[in-house]
A and B are shown apart, each in its own frame.
Chain A
Amino acid sequence: MDAESPKPEAMPVAATADAPLLRISSLTKRFAGYVAVDNLSLDIHAGEFFALLGPSGCGKTTLLRMIAGFETPDSGEILLNGDNIVNALPHQRPFNMMFQNYALFPHLTVEGNIAFGLKRLGMHASDVKDVVAQMLALVQLEGLGKRRPDQLSGGQRQRVALARSLALRPKILLLDEPMAALDKKLRESTQRELLELQRKLNMTFIIVTHDQDEAMTVADRIGVMDHGRLEQVAPPRQLYEAPRSRWVAEFVGDVNVFEGKMTGEEQGRVMVETRDAGTIIVPKPQGADDGKTLCVAIRPEKIKVSQRGPVNDLGGSAAINRLAGVVADVGYLGNATVYSVKLDAGAMLRASVSNTTRLDADSYQIGQRVVAWFVPADCMVLEQ
């Protein structure tokens, strides 16, 4: 885990690092002067499950719609196996989209919906029937083929939409918040189904979501978008443990951030004199100079809380950060408890403690003095 060099290429992708299946280069889209997608470049590899993550209105849907062909970019290229497809119409692109609102045809049955694209291919009626049956089995909707969309539950409709977009075996399946309308349990089981499907059919998926757990669960790589730009593209673990910027660190998961200046260096570590949390020892970032303003970021679950600080290492590395303070708030979440600690130095710090036993032997009360401590290696040093 090294903070200084996010390596987008080092990812668990089926296809090895040859030419990308889809290359998006310098894509820009404006709506009435507003830049929805801003000079964005991205490579998608065959067999990859790619997630686009970002706050509402950051341009995820717009990017997906440009790939599908429903929006024309103002500039930039979309290359499929090296061919520019920017001017191809939606029905000429070998992609299928699963729409956010499913967009099922209300006048057709479930079977009719799934068969819709197959019939356009001029496929023989008996073959269509076979594929439809196969798809229904895949999404576990056997027996519901004769129903109409308005006779299905939300989850069933979503699976019909999935089956319809999968039936054509598109080179790339585009999914726009496919699970936004589902409850947590159904969402989780559907995520598993999607993953299984993607592996079984060895297809390429691009999924849009603003649910980071979902992105983490399903994706090989995640692209985090903000204001029409990709802030970082990385595998989930790297994104979480080595975010490129303060914004990414704060957007993906929870994080404590302290601003400060570098004051000294010893054994590959540097001291950061923070404004309101005392001095924190962190790993030495690349190109660090004394006096430079930095952000020290630490995830709540990396912080331990105890009544007294830990004893010093025998090895003499006194490199454990100990921040003393008073418990200001306790948030019980079931699997974990989040303590807000008002540090003596002034800052508020959040520490998440796993509830590993049913007994609450380790719990602290509001007003109790505690020490929050963590090792330098768990700190991330970020540019402002």
Chain B
Amino acid sequence: MMARRLFARPARIAAIAPYLWMALFFLLPFAFVVKISLSQTAIAQPPYVPVIAIAEGGWAGFKAALAQLSLDNFRLLISDNIYVLSYLRSLTVAAIATAIMLLIGYPIAYGMARLPARWQPVAMVLVIVPFWTSFLIRIYAWINILQHDGLLNKTLMALRIVREPVTWLSTDTAMYIGIVYSYLPFMILPLYASLAKLDIGLLEAAADLGCSRLKAFWLVTVPISLPGVGAGVLLCFIPIVGEFVIPDLLAGSDRLMIGQTLWLEFFTNKDWPVASATAVVLLAVLLIPLLVYQRLQQRQLGTD
């Protein structure tokens, strides 16, 4: 009995720890954000009307506080199409970039998984190596490469592919280059993990049962790597939707992603409530792909 209790304690704490972490560093701050999103701007410090002031005391105070809450900020998000366009732009950019990364990342991951066992860790390190340099510095490096007399234009002209320098900076192309470059490892690693697990014997079995190599790839390799595809897509899509730095530094300023709009509201307009509402809606939007992924996984686990 004693021994059991001694062991049960730490085990229970270990089980609770991640939830505590989530509550402390996600749910609580998020509750603040939700609260601010239901408030109104004010010339004050902090710059919004403090809505829930329980201190006033009692049921009446609570009711009064409730009455002050407003959904005005959310109504604004729908009525002013700056926000809707920003959301759409973010989703589109994330979708296109994720698709490009899947197309580039899958062959790379496949190649890595087919390397002789002793070269695989080397390939893995090569994929991770860029992380040794700060993300921001690498984006600035891209500015350098893409600028008018940068490395890219010089190379293209030396190879006589173009006659005069091409404008790369402040275009969507530059932004996609930056995003794909930055997020590609997050696509490759889960893909590699699922492809490395694939048993070559299964491909032989497929060949034995009448599949050509291409057929075996489609019918065996691809379906078995789907969980890796799902993980890679989520790992890239979700943070790209909220991406701020890369579009801000590499893309033009005519069309904003939602992260940039949020930044504008927060720092330039000092409208914390609208910025908070933007963040809340963003989170709700991002829950959708997560739920879809979970549903798909459940269906795969079940029996069709």
Contact = CB atoms under 8 A, between A and B. Distances in A.
Given A116-B209, A120-B215, A90 B224 contact: no
Interface stretch (A25-33, A103-111, A357-365): A103-111
Interface residues of B, number: 21
A120 B304 contact: no
A165 B208 CA distance: 9
B211 interface: yes
B201 A99 contact: yes
A119 to B, nearest CB: 9
B304 A105 contact: no
Interface string A90-105: 1100011101010111
Contacts of A292: none
A165 B209 CA distance: 8
Contact of A91 (B208, B220, B300): B208
Contact of B201 (A103, A117, A164): A103
B215 A99 contact: no
A104 B204 CA distance: 11
A69 B207 CA distance: 9
A277 B201 CA distance: 52
B211 A99 contact: no
Contact of B209 (A70, A101, A164): A164
A109 B220 CA distance: 13
Q: Is the contact region of chain B dominated by helix, strand, or loop, or is it mixed?
A: helix
A168 interface: yes
A70 B205 CA distance: 10
Contacts, number: 65
Nearest to A161: B205
A69 B204 CA distance: 10
Taking chain A's interface residues, is the majority helix, strand, or loop, or is none over half, making it mixed? loop
B304 A103 contact: no
A172 to B, nearest CB: 12
Contacts of B202: 103, 105-106
A120 B303 contact: no
A96 B209 contact: yes
A90 B223 contact: no
Nearest to A112: B304
Contacts of B18: none
A68 B219 CA distance: 20
B201 A101 contact: yes
Contacts of A147: 303
Nearest to B199: A103
B209 A168 contact: yes
B116 interface: no
A89 B214 CA distance: 13
Interface string B205-233: 11111111001000110011010000000
A222 B205 CA distance: 26
A93 to B, nearest CB: 8
B304 A68 contact: no
B212 A91 contact: yes
Given A107-B223, A107-B224, A148-B303, A91 B207 contact: yes
Contacts of B304: 109, 146
A201 interface: no
A106 B215 contact: no
Contacts of A311: none
Interface string A103-140: 11111010000001100110000000000000000000
A32 B8 CA distance: 56
A106 B220 CA distance: 9
B211 A103 contact: no
B209 A99 contact: no
A117 B210 contact: yes
20 contacts: A68-B208, A69-B207, A89-B207, A91-B207, A91-B208, A91-B211, A96-B209, A97-B205, A97-B208, A99-B204, A103-B204, A103-B205, A105-B220, A105-B224, A109-B304, A120-B210, A120-B215, A148-B303, A151-B303, A168-B209
Interface of B: 199, 201-202, 204-212, 215, 219-220, 223-224, 226, 300, 303-304
* Smallest CB-CB A-B distances: 3 pairs: A117-B209, A120-B210, A103-B205
Given A89-B207, A91-B212, 12 more contacts: A69-B207, A70-B207, A91-B207, A91-B210, A97-B204, A97-B208, A99-B205, A107-B224, A107-B300, A151-B303, A165-B208, A168-B209
Interface of A: 68-70, 89-91, 95-97, 99, 101, 103-107, 109, 116-117, 120-121, 146-148, 151, 164-165, 168
